[in-house]
Amino acid sequence: METSDKLIQVVDLKKYYNGDAIKALDGVTLDINRGDVMVIIGPSGSGKSTFLRSLNLLEVPTSGQIIFEGVDITQKKGPDGKKLNIDKHREKMGMVFQHFNLFPHKTILQNMTLAPVKVKGVSQAEADAKALSLLERVGLADRADAFPIQLSGGQKQRVAIVRALAMEPDVMLFDEPTSALDPEMVGEVLDVMKRLARNGMTMAVVTHEMGFAREVGNRVVFMDGGKILEEGSPEQIFNHPQNPRLQDFLSKVL
Amino acid sequence: MNFATIGQNIVKLTIKYWDKFLLTGLGYTLSLAFITVCVGAIFGALIALLRMSKFPPFKWIAAVYTEIIRGTPMLLQLYLFYFALPQLIPFLNKKQYLCVAIALVCNSAAYVSEIIRSGIQAVDIGQTEAARSLGMSQRLTMTEIILPQAVKNILPALGNEFIMVIKDTSLASTFFIGDLMTQCLLVKGATYLTMEPLIMVAVVYFVLTYGLSKLLGFFERRMRRGDIR
Q: What are phi and psi of A138, to 5 degrees?
A: -105, 15
The set of residues, in sequence order, having a beta carbon less than 8 Å from that of B11 and lying 6+ positions away, is none
Single-letter code of the amino acid located at B136 = M
The set of residues, in sequence order, having a beta carbon less than 8 Å from that of B151 and lying 6+ positions away, is B119
* B142, pLDDT greater than 80: yes
A113-117, B21-25, B114-118, B189-193: least confidently modelled range: B21-25
**Cα–Cα dist A16/B229, whole Å:** 44
pTM, to two decimals: 0.85
**Cα–Cα dist A205/A41, whole Å:** 9
| CB–CB contact A90 B134 (8 Å) | yes
Closest CA to A30 of A186, A219, A189: A219
* A213, pLDDT greater than 60: yes
Question: According to the model, what pLDDT value does residue B91 have?
Answer: 86
**Cα–Cα dist B21/B28, whole Å:** 10
**Cα–Cα dist A142/A102, whole Å:** 17
**Stretch A71-81: mean pLDDT:** 89
Helix axes B56-71, B26-51, angle to 10 degrees: 150
**Cα–Cα dist B43/A23, whole Å:** 42
**Cα–Cα dist A32/B227, whole Å:** 41
Return the bridge partners of A173, or none. Answer: A95, A204
| CB–CB contact B132 A149 (8 Å) | no
| Predicted ipTM of the assembly | 0.92
Helix, strand, or coil (residue A233):
coil
**Cα–Cα dist B73/A157, whole Å:** 51
**Cα–Cα dist A194/A203, whole Å:** 10
| CB–CB contact A87 B131 (8 Å) | no
DSSP structure class, residue A84: P
Question: According to the model, what pLDDT value does residue B221 have?
Answer: 85
Which tops the pLDDT comparison, A46 or B228?
A46
Contacts of B228 in chain A (CB under 8 A): 149
User: pLDDT, tens digit, for every residue of B206-218?
Assistant: 999 999 999 988 8
User: pLDDT, tens digit, for every residue of B42-63?
Assistant: 999 999 999 999 899 999 999 9
pLDDT class for B229, splitting at 50, 70, 90? Answer: very low
Helices (H), chain A: 48-55, 86-90, 108-115, 124-137, 153-165, 183-198, 210-216, 234-239, 244-253
Question: According to the model, what pLDDT value does residue B17 have?
Answer: 84
Count of CB atoms within 10 A of residue B174's CB?
Answer: 15
Give CB contacts under 8 A, 24+ apart, made by B30-33. B30/B166, B30/B208, B32/B97, B32/B100, B32/B101, B32/B104, B32/B169, B32/B172, B32/B177, B32/B179, B33/B162, B33/B165, B33/B166, B33/B169
pLDDT class for A51, splitting at 50, 70, 90? Answer: very high
Question: According to the model, what pLDDT value does residue B227 have?
Answer: 59
List the single residue in B135, B227, B229 with the smallest CB-CB distance to A115. Answer: B135
Question: According to the model, what pLDDT value does residue B13 have?
Answer: 85
Contacts of A56 in chain B (CB under 8 A): 133
pLDDT class for A216, splitting at 50, 70, 90? Answer: very high
**Cα–Cα dist A25/A74, whole Å:** 15
Please report the domains of chain B, with CATH numbers, ordered by start residue: 3-228 (1.10.3720.10)
A175-179, B102-106, B152-156: least confidently modelled range: B152-156
* A2, pLDDT greater than 50: no
Helices and strands (H, E) in chain A, number of each type: 9, 10
pLDDT class for B225, splitting at 50, 70, 90? Answer: low
Q: Over chain B, what HEC string results?
A: CCHHHHHHHHHHHHHHHHHHHHHHHHHHHHHHHHHHHHHHHHHHHHHHHHHCCCCHHHHHHHHHHHHHHHHCCHHHHHHHHHHHHHHHCHHHCCCHHHHHHHHHHHHHHHHHHHHHHHHHHCCCHHHHHHHHHCCCCHHHHHHHHHHHHHHHHHHHHHHHHHHHHHHHHHHHHHHCCCCHHHHHHHHHHHHCCCHHHHHHHHHHHHHHHHHHHHHHHHHHHHHHHHHHC
Return the bridge partners of A72, or none. Answer: A67
User: pLDDT, tens digit, for every residue of A218-244?
Assistant: 999 999 999 999 999 999 999 999 999
- How high does pLDDT run on average in chain B? 91
Helix, strand, or coil (residue A119):
helix
User: pLDDT, tens digit, for every residue of B85-134?
Assistant: 988 988 888 888 899 999 999 999 999 999 999 999 999 999 999 999 99
* A3, pLDDT greater than 70: no
| CB–CB contact A104 B129 (8 Å) | no
Question: According to the model, what pLDDT value does residue B226 have?
Answer: 57
Q: Does A91 touch chain B (CB under 8 A)?
A: yes
Q: What Rg value do the Cα atoms of chain B yield, rounded?
A: 22
pLDDT class for A1, splitting at 50, 70, 90? Answer: very low
Do the beta carbons of residue B130 and residue A148 sit within 8 Å? no
**Cα–Cα dist A184/A194, whole Å:** 17
- How high does pLDDT run on average in chain A? 94
User: What is the count of residue pairs from A and B with beta carbons less than 8 Å apart?
Assistant: 68
**Cα–Cα dist A250/A244, whole Å:** 10
Q: Which of B54, B125, B129, B133 to mutate to test the interface with A (most CBs of A within 10 A)?
A: B133
User: pLDDT, tens digit, for every residue of B66-90?
Assistant: 999 999 999 999 999 999 998 898 8
A25-39, B131-145, B153-167: least confidently modelled range: B153-167
| CB–CB contact B133 A99 (8 Å) | no
